[in-house]
């Protein structure tokens, strides 16, 4: 990837676009293509007589981060 960036004249800056977007997409692709079983564990405090929310997976956190969800 560094070689391609050198050829097109873009500096290696992983915190700046467009490289930031490419690296985020690579993480998502790697989780899907090379997925491994994930044990979901979490301690949740919730009101009595309500269902506890499910813990989120690493893939869901990348695809739909909590800060982007409306709830």
Q: How far is CA 26 from CA 39, 45, 49, 62, in A?
A: 22, 34, 41, 11
pLDDT at 71: 55
> Is residue 61 pLDDT above 80, yes or no?
no
Domain ranges across the chain:
2-68
The pLDDT of residue 52 is: 81
Question: Reduced to 3 states, what is the DSSP secondary structure of residue 65?
Answer: coil
Mean pLDDT of 1-24: 85
């Amino acid at each position: 990837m560094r070689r391609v960036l050198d050829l097109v004249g873009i500096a290696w800056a992983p915190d700046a676009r467009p490289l930031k977007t490419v690296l985020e997409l690579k993480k998502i692709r790697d989780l899907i293509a090379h997925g491994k079983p994930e044990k979901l564990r979490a301690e949740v405090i919730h009101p009595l007589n309500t269902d506890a929310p499910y813990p989120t997976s690493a893939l869901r956190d990348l695809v739909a981060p909590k800060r982007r969800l409306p709830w």
